[in-house]
Amino acid sequence: MSTCDPQFWQDRLTRCKEQIVAYEDAIDALVNGGVQSYTLNTGQTVQTVTKVNIASLRSMLSELYNRAATLEARVGGCGVSVQRPGF
C-alpha cells in the first residue's frame, strides 16, 4: 500500500464525510429537535450524547472539517503544503 495512492485517501475522505454527517445530525437533533439525548453512531463508536456535550460535539465537528480539507487536498495531489512568510 502506498500512502500516495489516491484511493487510499479517497476512502479516508469518504469515512470522514460520514462522520461529519453523524456529528451534524447529533447537534441538530439536540439543538433543534427537542430531544434530551441522542445516540451518535460514527461508524467506529456508538455513544449517547446530551445537550451538555454540544460544545465537544462542535469542537469535534470542526476537527473533522479540517481533516476533510486535508484529505481532499491529498486526493487531488497526494500532499499538503504549509507555507509561512520568510520574514
Residue 85 belongs to some domain of the structure: no
The four Cα atoms 67, 21, 6, 69 give a dihedral, to 10 degrees, of: -30
With a cut of 70, say whether residue 2 has pLDDT above it: no
C-alpha cell at 18: 460520514
Total structural domains in the chain? 1
The model's pTM: 0.80
Mean pLDDT of the chain: 88
C-alpha cell at 48: 449517547
Residue 42 belongs to some domain of the structure: yes
Residue 28 belongs to some domain of the structure: yes
Residue 50 belongs to some domain of the structure: yes
Residue 43 belongs to some domain of the structure: yes
What residues make up the domain containing 34? 6-75
Percent pLDDT > 90 in the chain is 64
- pLDDT (tens digit per residue) in 27-68: 999 999 889 999 999 888 899 999 999 999 999 999 999 999
- Pairwise pLDDT comparison (64 vs 74), residue with the higher score: 64
Residue 55 belongs to some domain of the structure: yes
Closest CA to 18 of 61, 56, 49: 61
